Amino acid sequence: MKNFKYKRKEVEFWSITGEILSQNKYSETHVHSSGGGGYVGKDGGHVSPPNVHSNTITNHEFWIKKSDGSEKSIQLSGHDIPLRPGQRITIISAGMKGKDSGYYSVLVNHHANEHWFLNKAEALNKQLKIYQATGKSILIAGALWWAIAQVSSRQLSDITAYSLSAGYSGLSTLLSADAANNILNPIWRAVSNPEPVMFGFCVAAGFIVLRLIIKIPRILKMHKMLNLHLESLAQACYKKA
């Protein structure tokens, strides 16, 4: 089957074809709670009930007999696909090239002339990490913020230290040392106010926004390309049937 290439990543596909021998479907219900609690004191209190949530997952297990006579068990989680014994199906799997494992991506029912996506592009991208936001931009932005703040602070420190030293000498000849400090200390705090930090933050935030503007459309484009590739693989299975 034709592989999918995007930048330096390559996803390979392989398939298993066979006849359904038997199948079994069962559901699992997961219940979890959040919130709740409170307090009770001498003058009363308040207790909130927890919020209870549940979700049901359908599991589908079936056995197929391959052309060489061997049998294989297939387990699908979160899918309820209409199948019956005797039907011929093909399951397409996807994995990174060079790896020994992968994920079911498409199921083709040759008798029904239908196919279902078990894992579409978005899910495969999360599982295989084909092209994602890695968080490197945040690290680079943090380094930018720190570097700008440090460089600006040093420049301000050099300028203000010299200026305030000269100002203190001049004022101390006219006023007492305490009075000179009372005048110059607020100026020092104002100049030392972390404006460079804010400037660095703005640059870092702008960098992250720019990276998102560039990367999100690329991710969406890759998803579209991969979904089209999965569809073409499914159509190719019909032709081989």
Is pTM beyond 0.75? Reply is no
Residue 193 covered by a domain: yes
CA dist 130 to 10, 126, 135, 229, Å? Answer: 8, 8, 15, 14
Helix (H, G, I), strand (E, B) or coil at 111: coil
Q: For residue 234, which of 141, 108, 150 has the smallest C-alpha distance?
A: 108
Residue 87 forms part of a structural domain: no
Tell the burial category of 231 from Cβ atoms under 10 Å away from its Cβ (0-12, 13-18, 19+): middle
| pLDDT confidence bin for 240, thresholds 50/70/90 | confident
Task: Identify whether 69 is part of a domain.
Answer: no
Evaluate whether residue 144 is within a structural domain.
yes
Q: Are 97 and 12 in contact (CB under 8 A)?
A: yes
Q: Are 73 and 63 in contact (CB under 8 A)?
A: yes
Nearest in space to 9 (alpha carbons), one of 92, 93, 99: 99
**Is residue 232 a part of any domain in this protein?**
no
Q: Residue 205 falls within a domain, yes or no?
A: yes
pLDDT number for residue 179: 63
The model's pLDDT over 190-226, given as tens digits with 9 standing for 90+, comes to 545 556 667 677 778 878 888 888 888 999 999 999 9
For residue 156, the enclosing domain spans 136-216
Closest CA to 90 of 111, 70, 75: 111
> Per the structure, how many domains does the chain have?
1
- pLDDT the model gives residue 235: 94
Position 188 pLDDT exceeds 80: no
- Residue 75 is predicted with a pLDDT of 92
| Confidence class for position 140, pLDDT limits 50, 70, 90 | confident
Could you tell me which residue, 30 or 89, shows the higher pLDDT?
89
Q: Would residue 211 count as lying in a domain?
A: yes
Considering the domain boundaries, does residue 91 fall inside one? no
**Tens digits of residue pLDDT in 91-133:** 999 999 988 889 999 999 999 999 999 999 999 999 999 987 7
